[in-house]
Structure 1
């Protein structure tokens, strides 16, 4: 799984803080939603940390709202990581739900609902710092998610700290809601004295009373400013102590060194004392941060690994960082670069590191981080692209991952679609050039990405070369775990993509290697969701090859609960859906196949497997008796989706499907014309052979069928070749050949469960096949086919095979035939066609020879019988020769 940040658990209460029982009791009430709404410096965070420290009846999950999330998805990814860090869910659940959110950020609410349902104990989510209006509508969306979760998950409770009203305050009354305002958090006289006594035990009673009696001291933040000023003023009992405190505050803001310290360190979303020293050169960084905590500018927190980190308040960070950027813009890139390195190596926060690397224009390091940040969810990807837009394109071209991301975004927008290929191309080239300096794991990932790029560009040779190398590298390292866990998830993703590339390169054995390796890889890393994807790939390969029984068994190994919610019905689950559809076609259950494919309709306009879905769909519709509708759908979609980058294997599958539709719709002559103009697979050759046996007999069919039988690689090729050979044997009266090829059909049906191609056997041919088998005492074989024929009604009419073969006329012969129907005068025909009478005589001789006649009357009768006098088709035939 992609490693996310080591997000902190609940902060420790600040030193010197006092317990406020009345407020803790309010948070302990029965209300399932508690909102603490007050300005900064009123002690909201301290109150929440104290409550979390003493909460016993619920598991507390703490989410720090600083920095504000860039998107709804990024907030809930924090929540998932925290739930996992608390040991509330296992690795597999985390991987599954993170993958679901990455694939569809809109599914975050469902992912959290499933996660909370998996937790045995009641959960209280504390969100320290909700900022409505920040980063668009992200917080408002999070608020609505929280309300829905409170409504749907009875064991879930939420406590939120905010400085402004939010949508949470519109919760329905049945949930129960309590709001603590600034007035509730104001310090009482006794609490002011308690804070003063704890923080400044040497302070006189008179000074404490003076501070307690002033309204400015009712907030924890302003009280601490006062105490800090008194500590340095020496006027411990002066009547103007508060005025002096305010003067001290103004003076401190004017301290350029302190100002620079806060500005530089506030650039980082979180930091430790070492990073603060590195950024500022101040050896007293730790002490300064502690003073800033006492002043209310931020607070120390503890990560789940035990590291002590400091986080500024949102407003302090925004103002201080903005002030520093305006005063010292020349220093920003170096600071962002250092912060990026620390976030990546120490905090393991890949996304934050990536953003800071891009801010620093350190694209080499950004590419290094990006390799480990994959896969991004859509919202994270949008943020990266927003930063990339500020960088000159020529610089992006040098970094393959950044170029790939940018190309994907450009490709998704019709307005910029034409610019995408240049970024894809540079991504592929640079990935190869840079791979020599990378570790084996990184080289494997680069090769996998390169394969995806070349697939998108329609470059099959480069695509399969990169895929093979990716698979080889990952198999070589199979026994050695990755030195970086952050590479494991992207490596498994690209192992899957290499399998897809191998399939589209028409190398099913290589694809099987990839998917099989992914099963082992997933088991080793407990990536159960990836294991489902790998099994889907294996089932898909079997289904496409006609190994229906094997595909069915593999599909049964998929654990539905291990699917990320969005994967099952989206791109990652598409291969399983397609495999199941082909299995159902051989049940036969064409309606069930359509139901499986319909689930993918929302993705059909963008999914790369569109032709696989289309072909299975039109065959199912044809089996349901909607042949014309299927042919129309096929032609319309194929015309709209086929483009120059469509891979050759896809074009061949489309040509085969088109030929099958021509057969079942009675356009048998079109099979020969279309098929001979394409690079044909064994399956397409077999279909062409069936057409030739009907149109021209054995002379044209025999070499096609022989080639189909010789080149067959898998059961579906073998079955089509056997059906075609049987059709030819029945036409030529070869009883022995009929018996032999029919037995082969029955063997494939029995061994592999592949039955749907039997719809191409006409009713009379079925009777003759069964008779031939029974005549040879092959009663068991005959029974297998009798049952299969009964389950699969023929889609081809007997008239197709009984029709007389029509001669193929040239364009000039067709013109002469139409002229002959209107006049018997050769001179008149010559005048009409602007040729000599001798030319007309020669063309009539050729025409009569093709029709097998010797007179005008016979020619016209023959032409009418063969339907050759229909309106001319200007798209076919030869040019006229005079």
Structure 2
């Protein structure tokens, strides 16, 4: 043999075709065995690409658009194009719910030219169409980006129109076939002369099919009886391992094929009796694979795809025990080298569930999106019940995946129950113990066991605090810390939640992770009513570090809530609602849904839409949120308390009383709502008593301002102007310090007006400014002030919703226009309005436009 196969498989005409970057996408489109990967390897080895190179080979587990771009991001990390923290931020971006065109372009944009090689593209299946569009958008909008795709399956990139417009250059199987001249040259250089065949014989036998040409020439280059059987051996496509020089190297290749790529350290663990450096040198020299960038300072070896598939199947079917041993070792190696999902697939394939559990624990620890995606459902759905019961972390991950998918959500509860009831093994390190506790925290909370979840969260935080006090470096992942904080917040431990989130700011983490901590902290502060602190937290968020999560993504929900409250306190009611409109769809049945409702409910109250909003919220409470066993969190209670306000504003006191009847009369949480109901009923003394008791319990600025305002109204009704002025002063002081105005929406109209007059007569400038600053026409009116329409007036008001002019109403009702005008004047007077829009808004808020027996 005169030269190595690696040197002789270079075909200049094909390399020149790859050099041509006139079209920003090059498609190598041919069946298996035509040498697509080999050609790409040689082109890269010759250094003919422009700029940095990202090489990704897809496997069968690549089933989502996100996972495609994750693999490309990992290649960028290996090539040193991004730092580890930038890589984490990029993963956050890719895994947001609304990862779209603009984010894709931002993700791919680099400082210089770069080439993405996507090998094994056919494994994407139907997903290929989506990635086709991504690549077309990217190469059109990202300067310096080029993509080379090797595919044997269908792809829209091969469409004629794309070639005609120079957007895609296609290298087909016809192009990849060896010409007779190339076979002749290859034969001469490798074989020289042979008594068994001539170059033309090889060409005619193989038809130029690359893998067959290569196999035939290798057989003919060997001495002995095998050369005589070159034809059948060359055409036996399942005998790829037979092309290897000796059995030791064939065994090395079979075992190392268990993993998509490997370095010498893994090879030594897999095949301890073979020198990996020497084996890899021979394999690479003979064209069986190539080195790829693994980290910035090291490389890994990757087999030619067709060879690896054959070797992998051979090992799996003929040596199952060896395959399981090798797969477990390789899985642990992949997990430790930045490919947790590849590691998980391999561990699950061979039934190493203990290893799979450890990998899942690492995923949950480091990948925030693992809690909000159903991508792991396909990987875990086939696990038998006994495995899930024995390995509760796997049950937990599968439960989360099903919870993220509306179609599968019903099957999440039994899996989460397994996780919530898991026993923590003895003898674990503090780090591992806190991990197990955190899984129980999340599982319990998701099941609605809020008090249990909060107690476990305190245990987690106490373990970490004790380790810190003892001088240990044990820290809790920000993902877990934020989860523990949420569990505390949901049961009203506001101080503990704030402290937990604050502790994440001193932990090393990516900027997108810091953004999430600032987002949560801003939301907690806004819900409490500390708007200056909330705005300060929002100001710390680096919007450039996450392109979508900060705008509409689920993970930043508390940030969206904080922004909505900001608009609410600025009295921009429509913006307060719009900020949360697209967020709610992600969180309809989650712990966060209730906290999304309060600013919306207040905004619609201010806009005179109390009845419509009350009906919407009640339908939600009776629908998706009424699942059995869904315990009441602090947020869910607050929604019901504000629903009391909405029903009162809509003139439906019976509905408000019905809500409160579901709680004990001495339940301190209900005292502010009961105080408002008493005020609307005209019982000022009872309202004042309830206000006094409420002040012993309410601690947050928002609630204290509301209660002080209610107390001022009750005192004024009782004739005690001094107490009323004093409580107005307390309310205005809170409003000024914390930037609040929305608590005044909870006052009935007549009380707000009376207190405004009192402030102008006897109060301070801050008191006057507080009432003057609220720009709202009406919110809550007393039942006694409800308009008492005649039947004809009610009919005319209904008709007013359909027709703008009295003449059209008169025509519909078969009466004179003057009669209609008279009835409308009377109705307007009873409604306390002066125009049709005001009348319709007021009538809707009082429930007069629809026949409904709510009381």
Structure 2 equivalent of residue 317 of structure 1: 308
The answer for the alignment partner of 1:500 in structure 2 is 486
1:124-182 deviation per Cα after TM superposition (whole angstroms, max 9, x unaligned): 21223322xx3542334333322232233353222223345632111623343322234
- Residue 24 of structure 1 aligns with which residue? 15
Q: How does 1:37-116 map to 2 (within 5 A)?
A: 37-52=29-44, 53-55=46-48, 57-65=50-58, 69-104=62-97, 107=99, 110-116=102-108
Q: For residues 294 and 62 of structure 2, what CA distance do their matches in structure 1 show?
A: 18
Instruction: Provide the rounded CA distance (Å) in 2 between the counterparts of 1:648 and 1:247.
Output: 68
Alignment partners' CA distance in 2, 1:452 and 1:160: 42
1:429 is aligned to 421
1:261–1:244 distance in 2 versus 1, CA, 3 Å = same
Q: Is the 8 A contact 2:653 2:783 kept in 1?
A: no
Spell out, residue by residue over 1:821-850, the C-alpha distance to the aligned partner (whole angstroms, 9 max, x if none): xxxxxxxxxxxxxxxxxxxxxxxxxxxxxx
Structure 2 residue corresponding to 1:232, chosen from 222, 225, 234: 222
**In structure 2, how many angstroms separate the alpha carbons of the residues matched to 1:691 and 1:183?**
83
Q: Residue 362 and residue 242 in structure 1: after superposition, are their counterparts in 2 closer, same or farther (change >3 A)?
A: closer
* Structure 1 residue 503: Cα displacement: 1.2
Q: Whole-Å Cα distance in 1 between the matches of residues 167 and 409 of structure 2?
A: 50
- 2:360 maps to 1:360: no
CA 1:330–1:637 in 2, change beyond 3 Å: closer, same or farther?
same
Please say if residues 602 and 745 of structure 2, whose CA atoms lie closer than 8 Å, have aligned partners that are also in contact: no
CA-CA distance at 1:302 after TM superposition: 4.8
1:277/1:285 contact within 8 Å kept: yes
Q: Is the 8 A contact 1:343 1:353 kept in 2?
A: yes
| Change in CA separation of 1:298 and 1:756 when aligned onto 2, cut-off 3 Å | same
In the alignment, structure 1 segments of 5+ residues that lack a partner are 1-12, 804-872, 877-882
Please show how residues 66-465 of structure 1 align to structure 2 within 5 Å.
69-104=62-97, 107=99, 110-117=102-109, 119-131=110-122, 134=123, 136-163=125-152, 166-170=155-159, 172=162, 173-187=164-178, 195=186, 200=190, 204=192, 210-211=198-199, 214-215=202-203, 221-233=211-223, 246=234, 253=242, 263-272=254-263, 275=266, 279=270, 283=274, 297-305=288-296, 307=298, 309-329=300-320, 331-345=322-336, 347-374=337-364, 375=367, 384-411=376-403, 419-430=411-422, 433-434=424-425, 436-465=426-455
**Could you tell me whether the CA contact under 8 Å between 1:548 and 1:753 is conserved in 2?**
yes
Q: CA deviation at 1:287?
A: 5.7
Match of 1:603 among 579, 586, 604: 586
The farther-off stretch of 266-275 and 725-734 is 266-275
Q: 1:31 to 1:325 in 2, by over 3 A?
A: same
Q: What is the CA distance between 1:512 and its match in structure 2?
A: 0.6
Whether contact under 8 Å (2:649, 2:779) holds in the other structure is: yes
Structure 2: gaps (5+ residues): 788-851
> 8 Å contact 2:104–2:134 — kept in the other structure?
no
Partner of 2:535: 552
Classify 1:581/1:701 alpha carbon distance in 2 versus 1 (closer, same or farther; 3 Å).
same
Distance, in Å, in 1 between the alignment partners of 2:527 and 2:291 is 58
CA distance in 2, matches of 1:634, 1:280: 63
Deviation at 1:463? 0.6
Distance 1:606 1:55, change over 3 A: farther
Match for residue 583 of structure 1 among 566, 591, 606? 566
Over 3 Å counting, the alpha-carbon distance change for 1:89 and 1:801 in structure 2 is same
Assess, with a 3 A threshold, how the Cα gap between structure 1 residues 283 and 24 changes in structure 2: closer, same or farther: closer
CA distance in structure 2 between the aligned counterparts of 1:180 and 1:247, rounded to whole angstroms: 24
Equivalent-residue separation in structure 2 for 1:68 and 1:425 (angstroms): 28
Distance 1:19 1:507, change over 3 A: same
Q: Name the residue aligned to 2:820.
A: none
How far apart are residue 295 of structure 1 and its match? Answer: 6.0
Q: Report if the CA contact (8 A) 1:666-1:800 is conserved.
A: no
Q: 2:525 aligns with which of 515, 518, 542?
A: 542
Contact 1:578/1:612 (8 A) holds in 2: yes
Residue 545 of structure 2 corresponds to 562
Shift of 1:297: 4.8
SS of the residue corresponding to residue 558 of structure 1 reads: coil
CA deviations 1:602-641 (Å, max 9, x no partner) are 3243443222223322221121111221221122122112
Measured after TM superposition, the shift of residue 596 of structure 1 is: 0.6
1: distance between equivalents of 2:134 and 2:371?
17
Select between 554-563 and 180-189 the one with higher mean Cα deviation: 180-189
| Residue in structure 1 matching 2:644, options 649, 659, 676 | 659
How big is the alpha-carbon RMSD for the aligned residues of Structure 1 and Structure 2?
Answer: 4.1
Once residues 541 and 784 of structure 2 are traced to their aligned partners in structure 1, the CA distance between those partners, rounded to angstroms, is 43
Change beyond 3 A, Cα 1:219–1:782 = closer
Aligned length in residues: 774
Aligned to 1:863: none
Q: How does 1:418-817 map to 2 (within 5 A)?
A: 419-430=411-422, 433-434=424-425, 436-474=426-464, 491-521=477-507, 524-525=508-509, 527-566=510-549, 568-640=551-623, 641-643=625-627, 644-668=629-653, 671=656, 674-675=659-660, 677-678=662-663, 684-695=670-681, 697-773=683-759, 776=762, 778-789=763-774, 791-797=775-781
The change in CA–CA distance for 1:324 and 1:559 in structure 2 (over 3 A counts) is: closer
What residue number does 2:849 align with? none
Please state whether the residue corresponding to 1:267 is helix, strand or coil.
coil
1:285 Cα offset (Å): 6.6
Q: Secondary structure at the match of 1:180?
A: strand
- Please tell me whether the aligned partners of residues 327 and 346 of structure 2 are also in contact (alpha carbons under 8 angstroms): yes
Shift of 1:69: 3.1
The Cα offsets for residues 446-501 of structure 1, whole Å up to 9 and x where unpaired, read as 322221111111112221122223334556677999999xx98xx22222222221
TM-superposed CA distance for 1:418, in Å, is 5.5
Instruction: State the alpha-carbon separation in 2 of the partners of residues 359 and 716 from structure 1.
Output: 54
Task: Tell me how far apart the structure 2 counterparts of residues 710 and 377 of structure 1 sit (CA, whole Å).
Answer: 41
From the superposition, tell whether residues 179 and 229 of structure 1 become closer, same or farther in structure 2 (CA, over 3 Å).
same
Which residue does the alignment assign to 2:832? none
Q: Is the 8 A contact 1:103 1:378 kept in 2?
A: no
Deviations 1:274-297 (A, max 9, x none): 655655676367666665556655
2:55 & 2:91 partners in 1: Cα distance? 18
CA contact (8 A) 2:681 2:782 kept: no
Structure 1 counterpart SS, 2:556? helix
Distance change in 2, residues 1:284/1:33 (3 Å): same
Aligned mates of 1:156, 1:441 — CA distance in 2: 43
| Aligned CA distance change for structure 1 residues 780 and 417 (closer, same or farther; 3 Å) | closer
- Taking the aligned partners of 1:252 and 1:763, their CA distance within structure 2 comes to 86
| Residue 27 of structure 2 is aligned to residue 35 of structure 1 | yes
Give the C-alpha shift of residue 747 in structure 1: 1.0
The DSSP-based 3-state class of the residue aligned with 1:304 is coil
Aligned-partner Cα distance in 2 for 1:232–1:695? 103
Deviation at 1:309, TM superposition (A): 3.7
- CA distance in 1 between counterparts of 2:544 and 2:414 reads 41
TM-score (norm 1): 0.78
State the alpha-carbon separation in 1 of the partners of residues 621 and 771 from structure 2.
Answer: 36
SS at match of 1:625: coil
